[in-house]
Amino acid sequence: MTHPDPTLFGHDPWWLILAKAVGVFVFLLLTVLAAILIERKVLGRMQMRFGPNRLGPKGLLQSLADGIKLALKEGLTPAAVDKPIYILAPVISVIPAFLAFAVIPMGGEVSVFGHRTALQLTDLAVAVLYILAVTSVGVYGIVLAGWASGSTYPLLGGLRSSAQVVSYEIAMALSFVTVFLYAGTMSTSGIVAAQNRTWFVFLLLPSFLVYVVSMVGETNRAPFDLPEAEGELVGGFHTEYSSLKFAMFMLAEYVNMTTVSALATTMFLGGWHAPWPISLWDGANSGWWPLLWFTGKVWAFMFLYIWLRGTLPRLRYDQFMAIGWKLLIPVSLAWIMILSTSQSLRAHGSDLWATVMVVGGTLVTLLLAVVLWRNLRFRDPGAAERPLPDTVPGTGTFPVPPLPDRATTKPRETTDA
């Protein structure tokens, strides 16, 4: 097993750094193209229909055709927009999505034309904080897109989306605190190395569950795709966008999905380490094999996105915000306190009590989550005061909207022209 030596970073030749940057860019673009096609095919099968099956063999060229179609569409710019910000907003959304992947470790040390290098563009002592900082910049693109459009509904969509992302970034950051406590570092390669024996998903299950919910909310995906709630906001913050500018928002969404999936793999699923029982093979974590395990774990989370979209209905906005503020954040804070106590006991030599604290704390945290979930008020608060609707004779107690009394209804007054 060859974990990257921290001294390797920053000493690669310029052509190798450029090659790794281009490799990360190509990896993300190919993942986006594949994700769009696979999502449409899987959703089609879930809904008992065929997905794309016309363009290319078995529809494999559908994503490419969609990209060309978007590029050739006329780019309309409404008259009321703030043009410089209107054009800059999709760029602000898409660039941070790519930059966040710079510190994701995709494998151990490999040899490239005689040079030993890590399958990671670079690493930092605070790499995870760098990812949180860069991804939060993308919110500016959403807010500015809604504001610069000069229309009411895109502005509302931008405000709702910004509140959504900021709220769930808090829960996401809190889920990382326990990882930092166990790994003793904020470096992504160091966190992967700390999971050499046991993945953090088994040790830090509550943090993993909080992160999975937060990453779906962070990327505005169903059932949390409230900025694109067509019935309420027409099309969300990108209503006034078309052609390539609209495509850049969609590209940013799918790249962000890939980034948060890769971050979940790095923080909780052992990164590029091979899963059991493949890990019993001596060469499973050496050479280029780790890139395969890493990609497989990322696609497991991508399938989770698709599965959620095909099975769960969209939540109301108040329900969604209640989950973040009333459930995820309190559970994360309670779990951090329990784990901090456990680490303090372990530092004083009480390994048995520390283990008991972790196991008991996991059960207590999950129980707290269940209690908070049951106490969340998802119903309309004024429903208890309103009378039940009238019923139609012969239909039992089935409620129907109140019907007007035709005998007492006054005819509408009309006036001659």
Q: Return the structure tokens found at 400.
A: 């129907």
**3-class secondary structure for 45-74?**
HHCCCCCCCCCCHHHCCHHHHHHHHHHHCC
Q: Across the strands, what pairs with 110?
A: 117
> Do 71 and 243 touch, CB atoms closer than 8 A?
yes
Per-residue pLDDT of 49-64, as tens digits, reads 888 888 888 888 888 8
pLDDT in tens, 30-86: 999 999 999 999 999 898 888 888 888 888 888 888 888 888 888 888 888 888 898
Asked if 395 contacts 403 with a C-beta cutoff of 8 angstroms, the reply is: no
Query: Binning pLDDT at 50, 70 and 90, where does residue 353 land?
Result: low
Tokens describing residue 197? 């024996």
What is the C-alpha separation between 270 and 267, in angstroms, rounded? 7
CA atoms of 121 and 18, how far apart (whole Å):
9
Q: Decide if pLDDT at 381 tops 70.
A: no
> At residue 7, does pLDDT exceed 70?
no
Query: In the chain, pLDDT over 70 holds for what percent of residues?
Result: 85
The stretch 91-107 carries a mean pLDDT of 89
Confidence (pTM): 0.83
Indicate the DSSP class of residue 103: G
Cβ–Cβ < 8 Å for 268, 208: yes
Name the band, by pLDDT with cuts 50, 70 and 90, for residue 12: confident
Residue 58 and residue 55: Cα distance in Å, rounded?
A: 7
Tokens representing residue 272 in the block: 């590029």
47 backbone dihedrals φ, ψ, rounded to 5°: -100, 15
Q: Could you report the per-residue pLDDT of 222-269, keeping only the tens digit for each?
A: 788 776 665 555 667 888 888 888 888 888 889 999 999 999 999 999
Question: What's the confidence (pLDDT) of residue 417?
Answer: 45
Mean pLDDT of the chain: 81
**Tokens encoding 334:** 């309670």
Alpha-carbon distance of 50 to 194, in angstroms, equals 44
Cα separation, 188 vs 132, whole angstroms? 13
pLDDT at 145 over 70: yes
DSSP output for 344-406: HHHHTT-HHHHHHHHHHHHHHHHHHHHHHHHH---S-TTTTTSPPPPB-TTSTT-B-PPPP-T
**Rounded mean pLDDT, 363-373:** 79
